[in-house]
A = this chain, B = another copy of it.
Amino acid sequence: MTARTTAPATRMRSADRRALVLEAATAVFGERGYVGATTEAVAKAAGVSQPYVVRMFGTKEDLFLAVLRRALDLLLATFRGAIDAGGPEHRADHADLHSRIAHSYADLLGDRGLLLSLMHGFILGSDPAIGACARDGFLEVYRLLRDEAGFAPEEVRDFLADGMLLNTLVGLRMVDAYDASPAARELLETALPSKLEFLRSLGPA
Contact = CB atoms under 8 A, between A and B. Distances in A.
A146 B164 CA distance: 20
A16 to B, nearest CB: 29
A25 to B, nearest CB: 16
Interface stretch (A42-50, A51-59, A150-158): A150-158
A94 interface: no
A119 B183 CA distance: 20
Contacts of A187: 139, 142, 153, 156-157
One complex includes copies of this chain to the number of 2
Given A126-B31, A161-B164, A139 B181 contact: yes
9 contacts: A123-B172, A125-B176, A142-B183, A153-B186, A153-B187, A161-B162, A161-B165, A161-B191, A164-B167
Contacts of A120: 33, 123
Interface string A96-115: 00000000000000000000
Contact of A171 (B122, B157, B181, B190): B122
Interface residues of A, number: 48
A111 to B, nearest CB: 14
A71 to B, nearest CB: 14
A31, A131, A172: most-surrounded residue (chain B CB, <10 A)? A172
Contacts of A184: 135, 139
A190 B157 contact: yes
A9 interface: no
Interface in A14-73: 31-36
A40 to B, nearest CB: 14
A199 interface: no
A33 B124 contact: yes
Given A33-B124, A119-B119, A153-B190, 13 more contacts: A34-B36, A119-B168, A122-B171, A125-B171, A138-B174, A139-B187, A142-B186, A157-B190, A158-B161, A160-B165, A164-B165, A164-B167, A165-B165
